[in-house]
Amino acid sequence: MNARTRTIRRLPSARPGPYAARERLRVTTDAPREGRDRMFPAFTEVSRVELTLYTDALITHGYVRTRQHRITDILNLADQSFLILEDVTVEELGARGTPIKADVAQINLDSVLFAVAHVPIEASPELRTPKKPTEAIVSVPPFKITGTIHLMPGEWTLREALNELSMRFLPVTDAVYWSDHLGEGRQSAVIVAVNQKRTQILAHHQEVDPWAGLGAPAPATVPEPDPWGTGPGAPGASPDAGMSGEGGPAATG
pLDDT digits (tens, 9 = 90+) for 73-89: 999 999 999 999 999 99
Task: Compute the average pLDDT of residues 89-98.
Answer: 87
SS3 category, 180: coil
Q: How confident is the model at residue 63 (pLDDT cuts 50, 70, 90)?
A: very high
CATH code, 129-204: 2.30.30
Q: Order of strands, edge to edge, in the sheet holding 169-179?
A: 100-108, 82-92, 58-66, 47-54, 114-117, 184-195, 169-179, 143-151, 132-140, 201-204
CA atoms within 13 A on the CB side of 236: 4
Bridge partner residues of 137 (DSSP): 146, 203
pLDDT at 185 over 80: yes
pLDDT at 39 over 50: no
pLDDT at 7 over 60: no
Q: Do the strands 100-108 and 114-117 form a parallel or antiparallel pair, or are they unpaired? A: unpaired
* Greater model confidence, 206 or 12: 206
Bridge partner residues of 203 (DSSP): 137
- Give me the residue spans of the domains in the chain: 129-204
Tell me: the pLDDT tens digits for 121-168?
665 555 556 778 889 999 999 999 999 988 877 656 667 777 777 889
pLDDT at 46 over 70: yes
